[in-house]
Homo-oligomer: A and B are copies of this chain.
Amino acid sequence: MSVFDSILKPTLLLDEAAAKRNIARMAAKARAVGVVFRPHFKTHQSHEIGAWFRQEGVRAITVSSLDMAEYFAADGWDDITLAFSANIRQIPAMNALAERIHLGLLVESVETAAALGAGLGAPVDIWLKIDGGAGRTGIAWDNPEAAARVSAEVLRKPRLNLKGLLTHAGNTYSAANPEEAGAAFRQSSERMQAVRASLQTAGVPPLLISVGDTPGCSALDRFEGVDEIRPGNFIFYDAQQLRVGACQFEDIAVALACPLVALHPERSEAVVYGGAIHLSKDTFEWQGSRAYGLVCLPAEHGWSMPLPDSAVTRLSQEHGILNLRPKDLARLRVGDLLCLIPAHSCLSVQSMGSYLTLDGRPIPMMRA
């Protein structure tokens, strides 16, 4: 009996072997060049999957919320960076966690540094959150005065251990190919080194440099000037990473199996039970327009290559509208399953809340 026979409704399939290969490859790469591999666990959010990283020697992790830090601390992880600019409303809970584990926090303002310094009773590592050009948040890399002001405030607080500079090179996601992703990663790393040099000139002790992002870490084999990498998405990859060239199709380790509920050959479309609440509404650029995912068929050991010219073109709460070629539509029947490769696996995983391996084993994950 195939795993597909047991699937009645939208189900997140996990190719365990592919995920383990992805973990092993990134861990080996980090070992080879001697950088700390601190993978981002927001992508999988699962104790069981976390254990696969332990088998590769991983001891330090990254998370994106305090709840997630607590979830993984409960499973024995004791070196956790909360890679989100510290939310000072949660200082009491941060403090409770910092009493039990080695906790790293991100700071990008004097105000936050002051609040942490005043509110925390346990020691924490502090990373200055630097915006290396992606424009989301952080101290602008070309504003060394701001970095110096925040550093000075951190250094004044006895329980704040100024550890390093941390950035997320999010602009690698818009790269057209691995070379561009690698170049964006390198540019971001060089900017961190410039910030570090400028802080050293101002009297700040030498700082570590931590850089994230899956496209850059996948594209490069060496990470000059970087002490730590924090990719997360690489464990599953997705359609967006495939577009950037960060992975091969066979590296993609999750797909959403969805029952077909309607065929509309007159407009080259099919409709599946599987919508925004399952796949998420994130998109990627595909053949000149935006798409929510790619469309594959169930296969003996997982799913097929994407159907040519196929895409998930529209989503409502539970409906997924697929564009398909007439010859593919002609082979399909209501009740069939299709496997959708998400635009962004992190958000699809978060939406689904659990996995089913290809041999039919459910894997739970945390729920907020």
A residues with a Cβ closer than 8 A to B are 7-9, 42, 64-67, 84-90, 93, 108-109, 111-112, 115, 135-138, 140, 170, 259, 261-264, 266-267, 271, 273, 276-277, 280-282, 314, 316-319, 321, 333-335, 337, 346-347, 350-351, 353, 367-368
Contact = CB atoms under 8 A, between A and B. Distances in A.
13 contacts: A8-B89, A8-B93, A9-B87, A84-B273, A88-B335, A115-B335, A170-B316, A276-B280, A276-B282, A276-B347, A277-B368, A317-B346, A317-B350
Given A89-B337, A115-B334, A281-B282, 14 more contacts: A8-B87, A9-B67, A64-B317, A65-B318, A84-B273, A85-B271, A109-B334, A111-B334, A136-B316, A136-B321, A137-B264, A137-B321, A276-B282, A280-B281
Contact of A64 (B90, B140, B318, B334): B318
A124 to B, nearest CB: 16
B334 A271 contact: no
Given A276-B282, A276-B347, A317-B350, A261 B64 contact: no
B262 A137 contact: yes
Nearest to A143: B266
Contacts of A135: 267
Contacts of A280: 276, 280-281
A277 B350 contact: yes
Q: Which of A65, A85, A89 neighbours the largest number of chain B CB atoms within 10 Å of its CB? A: A89
A136 B259 contact: no
A337 B43 CA distance: 27
A89 B335 contact: yes
